[in-house]
Structure 1
């Protein structure tokens, strides 16, 4: 019996040790699981506890009688069974590890909330800053397009002013062309081109025609060139200078000079050569005054030399001179010259200045009808082209203004939108 009692005690002791080992093993497993996945703590510990309880219950069923009689073993396993608390299987198992996990979760939650609030504040400030930058950019664009719009408007106004001016010039050129067309006589065109020589032919003056034909300078005459000394336009102008020469002679108490047809032709020939060479070309044996670049040659011959009695002044006031011939050309700057002849020098047929003017003006009034209208036609065409160009410029500037206006409108819309977006932050 004694051996049997010892055997029973050993069995009870073995069962108790097994329960303790199971509990220790479960604790180790829970701690290991905590390191791997903290969220598994409660679940692992609860499972371990349930497993231990199951083993205890099973062992108790097998040796209930033995445990009831062994007070020492009960003390070893945790005290009096009657004092053990009732276990609620649904209650969470709280350990030191789970408390640390809860504390860390609370800390992380608080930190995350603080970070989120700070992040939201930073985001709002950044958005406001970006809105301010966007508004500044839109304002710069608005100012740029506004300046372009003002420039386009100014350019259009200038183009319209130029168009209106050219419109007036076109109307004037058109009226002039219509006028010359009404008076144009193609039959007189050749006479107009022949100038002074044609005049001599019309009145049958041999002195004048012979002077042209016999001179070695005759090739210098440019027939049909209105700026040549022989052109009827410049011969007509010369009549005014013939009158002034006699007026100045009269002021100095000198006699009136008559107009020589021969000297008029010789003066024209000398003038054309001098105009081409830029120096005197007088080969007539007669005295001559010559002036380059003056509007009024008597400034050089009379006004500038009267006080000192210069050579040009003295020739102009020559006492024994009886006839004169005058020429003017503007092919190469203004060139004026006047020839003087005494009775002994053979001036040929002469007439008074007024008689010469009457005969020449009659010829002029007829031949002027044959004046080429090419100049007026060209002036009209040029005026028309200029006007058309100005009209096209106005059209181009109007399109540029439309483009500038559209760009300004778009920039204004963007500016207003960005201003409104910035105001939303206030």
Structure 2
């Protein structure tokens, strides 16, 4: 069948694509006007719309009032309706041909553009134009690549959209938010967030940032705003674990923000002091009545009370790990240090198949893929971690460490964590 038709003069053929494109601007070819929420009207042909969308078919050719109305109100802005009609006629939409679009400040994508692209994905799903919805979601790959931090704006737009928004877009936006480089986040990226969406981000356990970086996001959100947002930010600070921010930063940047009260700071300092006191007490009790550092287990068996880690490429790992309770029936060893400017606890423990040195995930310690792992070695049924042969989990952590042990002078431990007593 030919894909062209003759024009009125019968001397120039018009292609099928040209014919369909003509419906976009020729009012004589259209019989219905779609009115957007912003008052913008888009001309359309109800039969062509109905041919591609069952939703339009039921709305414009069914028993609804819209079937006989020359103007139909649609719950999307006119620009989105224009893109929908354009796609139905041409399998494309000008909005999808956009290049990288930055805001005037040049720091991130234009938020109104992000909102429009999210609305297009929502509208496409609503009208069951699922290929268009996929194209709109795919377009966000350009957004993520150019500016990962624009994911905050995308997430906000998704959360304020209707129920037709593709769940895959919401999940992807949250995934990118979690891994966005904290040092690249600016006020412009987070200022568009509602307090509800910001609270969801702050309380998300999979955020790949420190507690201070979470606080920085909160502080950026509250800047250059009225008292109402400042009060909301102060309330949201409860989702930040202040005790995991180093005391110097607490006394300077956090205090200067005005988002935490002196009572909160005092309570945080008390928590930090008690935790350090507990660690010091454990270390002090274990520093007496010990044999020298050794590299072999003594004949009477038992588990070391301390393990000295040496030569690791990650300097923060090196030092003395003190026996501190058990994990899955085996002794675990802990060492509290400042890492990346924040107080944290390293674990040296067994996860059944491997010995691991890691910073455990707060919510699910010892879970593969959740902890921040530094070194590991396959466990060969031994009850204490091997002296050497450790593998680095990243090139930047090489070389692996070597271990030495220290045992109590009168050790009768079985090596099992079931009788834990430091």
Global fold match (TM > 0.5): no
Q: By percentage of residues, which structure has more helix?
A: 1
Structure with greater strand share of residues: 2
Category of TM-score, reference length = shorter chain: under 0.3
Considering only CA atoms, is the larger Rg found in Structure 1 or Structure 2?
Answer: 1
* TM-score for the superposition, normalised by structure 1: 0.16
Q: Which structure has more RCO (C-alpha within 8 Å, separation ≥ 6)?
A: 1
Task: Normalising by structure 2, report the TM-score.
Answer: 0.16
